[in-house]
Amino acid sequence: MEWALSILTAALDGANLIHDVGYLGQGSVGSPAAIVMCSEMISYVNRLIRGIEFGDHRIGMEVIRPVGSGGNFLAEEHTLRFHREEQWQPKFFNQDNVEIWQTKGGKGPGEIVTEKAREILRTHRPEHLPESALNRLSQIARKAEAELLGKRIVA
């Protein structure tokens, strides 16, 4: 709950970078599973922050008139297309009914994100930075070292 509210309030404040997700114990402990959980929360918050567009093409009067009141809009291409764009779909939170959830293994969100975090840690192979980026980082580090040499930093 704390992560979700922190992520949401940061996004509502206009932040475009939300960091320190997945930390526990006031930042003294990190959890890969918590980072995966927070990625789900960030995805949801991003969808909320985006809002809903109400242009004429989205309202779909050209679909509403022929289908009419009492008609079925669910089978209309317009509904299908915009529903996919507007409806947030979780990757790790269950939205199935109990019977389907049980046939899929009945795992809770904690188990699911832990398994995903372990999979990422086992399989992820980060791309190496291009040589030009490494050179530029080295230049920045050398400049900082030269400028900070002999200076005492007090926090």
Q: Which amino acid is at 140?
A: I
Which tops the pLDDT comparison, 120 or 79?
120
**Distance (Å, rounded) from C-alpha 140 to C-alpha 35?**
29
Q: Is the pLDDT of residue 151 over 90?
A: no
Domain assignments of the chain as residue spans, ordered by start: 2-51+92-148
The more confident residue out of 149 and 26 is 149
Contact 37, 113 (CB under 8 A): yes
pLDDT per residue over 100-141, tens digit each? 999 999 999 999 999 999 999 999 999 999 999 999 999 999
Buried b (16+ CB within 10 A) or exposed e, 81-101: ebeeeeeeeeebeeeeeeeee
Q: What is the pLDDT of residue 23?
A: 84
- Give the pTM: 0.72
pLDDT tens digits along 35-54? 999 999 999 999 999 998 88
Note the pLDDT of residue 107: 95
State the pLDDT at residue 37: 94
Query: Phi first, then psi: what are they for 29, rounded to 5°?
Result: -135, 135
